[in-house]
């Protein structure tokens, strides 16, 4: 799959607009002690191929995308999902936390490392203010403050470092595994966010892959999706919320379609397909409950999103204990 093969005409026009806006006058600042202003690495890996398929060298690495303009390029097959759940259950059994539920709540502060993968012309060099706003959105969405029905999760986020690179290959997510391995910071508990320009709104790794592929662990997010970005209907910063949900171990609400196993969370009604927009009252599956269009793990517009469920919150805490604590 060529990186640009799924880019729609609409998407191209939004990114082109952003390129025009950011090519001139963008600031080249770095935040934090881990991100000196000299952290500029044009073409650091020497690659001349700009269109490598993400994760092509490790097709068994689970990842998931918030397409926004198409379906996932890799859903998790049911058999693999069962293996993952069984492995997680065994780990939690050994830890003795299986019955923990909310009775032994975490209060984890997640350090966040933001890697701005700008082009050599400065495209995608988002402002420090946008990054600060993005962290605020993560805290807002994971604290359940957008809806009375939203779960208050056990997670908060603090910016641990920002670095900026000006590399035309990395900017379009080329040599993806290489640049992630070269730039990732922190341990299993650290959320690394790479801001790139690619076909997707975002792509995430799952926590159960950390032990084998920790060097590329984290989420890749389209820079145009940050608060104030140019991705119309997807520029309130909720893509990072969605991708972090995968990083914590959540599936899409439409995982498994109308089947019984679904997304492994009992309080997200089954859903046969991703939502586009915000179709209030949609109810595709015969099973109980309307489609969870307001759930961060659907594909709805950013302004339609307002919640994780208590079941999702509990799953994230269990996954944290199993793989990231
Ligand atoms: Zn997703």
DSSP β-bridge partners for residue 114: 162, 193
Q: What is the pTM of this model?
A: 0.79
311 burial via Cβ count (<10 Å: 0-12, 13-18, 19+): middle
Residue 282 CA, ligand 1 centroid: distance in Å: 20
Residue 117 CA, ligand 1 centroid: distance in Å: 21
Q: Out of 80, 85, 146, 243, which one is annotated catalytic?
A: 243
Q: What is the pLDDT of residue 286?
A: 84
Per-residue confidence band for 61, with pLDDT thresholds at 50, 70 and 90: very low
Is 243 annotated as catalytic? Answer: yes
pLDDT, mean of residues 34-51: 24
Per-residue confidence band for 89, with pLDDT thresholds at 50, 70 and 90: confident
Q: What is the pLDDT of residue 6?
A: 24
pLDDT, mean of residues 228-256: 95
Distance CA 241, CA 135 (A): 10
Residue 203 CA, ligand 1 centroid: distance in Å: 7
Residue 294 CA, ligand 1 centroid: distance in Å: 14
Environment of ion ligand 1 (residues, CB < 5 A): 64, 66
Phi, psi of 113 (to 5 degrees): -110, 120
Q: E strands within the chain?
A: 63-66, 108-118, 155-166, 191-196, 202-205, 219-222
With contact defined as beta carbons under 8 Å apart, do 298 and 254 qualify?
yes
pLDDT tens digits, one per residue of 146-201: 999 999 999 999 999 999 999 999 999 999 999 999 999 999 999 999 999 998 99
- Per-residue pLDDT for 206 more than 50? yes
Q: Which residue has the higher pLDDT, 231 or 58?
A: 231
Residue 315 CA, ligand 1 centroid: distance in Å: 16
> For residue 197, which of 116, 98, 124, 304 has the smallest C-alpha distance?
124
Residue 154 CA, ligand 1 centroid: distance in Å: 20
- Kindly list the domain boundaries of the chain, sorted by start residue: 1-46+85-250, 252-307
The per-residue DSSP string of 93-107 comes to HHHT-TT-TTTT---
pLDDT, mean of residues 46-65: 30
Residue 271 CA, ligand 1 centroid: distance in Å: 14
Percent of the chain residues past pLDDT 70, beyond the cut? 74
CATH of 1-46+85-250, picked from 3.40.390, 3.30.310, 3.40.50, 3.10.450, is 3.40.390
């Amino acid at each position: 799959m060529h990186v640009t093969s799924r880019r729609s005409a609409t998407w191209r026009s939004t990114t082109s607009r952003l390129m025009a806006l950011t090519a001139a006058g963008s600031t080249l600042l770095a935040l934090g002690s881990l991100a000196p202003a000299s952290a500029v690495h044009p073409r650091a890996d020497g690659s001349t191929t700009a269109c490598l398929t993400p994760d092509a060298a490790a097709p068994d690495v689970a990842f998931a995308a918030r397409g926004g303009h198409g379906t996932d390029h890799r859903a998790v097959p049911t058999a693999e999902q069962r293996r993952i759940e069984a492995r997680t259950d065994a780990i939690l059994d050994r830890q003795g936390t299986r019955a923990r539920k909310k009775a032994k709540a975490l209060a984890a502060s997640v350090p966040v490392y933001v890697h701005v993968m700008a082009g050599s012309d400065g495209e995608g060099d988002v402002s420090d203010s946008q990054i600060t706003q993005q962290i605020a959105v993560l805290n807002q969405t994971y604290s359940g403050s957008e809806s009375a029905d939203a779960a208050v999760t056990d997670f908060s986020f603090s910016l641990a470092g920002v670095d900026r690179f000006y590399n035309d290959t990395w900017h379009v997510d080329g040599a993806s595994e290489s640049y992630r391995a070269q730039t990732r910071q922190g341990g299993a508990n650290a959320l690394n966010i790479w801001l790139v320009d690619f076909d997707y709104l975002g792509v995430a790794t799952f926590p159960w892959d950390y032990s084998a592929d920790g060097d590329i662990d984290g989420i890749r997010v389209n820079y145009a999706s940050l608060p104030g970005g140019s991705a119309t209907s997807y520029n309130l910063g909720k893509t990072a919320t969605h991708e972090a949900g995968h990083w914590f171990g959540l599936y899409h609400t439409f995982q498994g379609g109308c089947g019984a196993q679904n997304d492994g969370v009992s309080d997200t009604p089954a859903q046969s397909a991703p939502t586009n927009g915000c179709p209030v009252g949609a109810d595709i599956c015969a099973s109980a409950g309307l489609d969870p269009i307001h759930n961060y793990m659907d594909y709805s517009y950013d302004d339609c999103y307002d919640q994780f469920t208590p079941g999702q919150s509990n799953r994230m805490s269990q996954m944290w204990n199993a793989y990231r604590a």
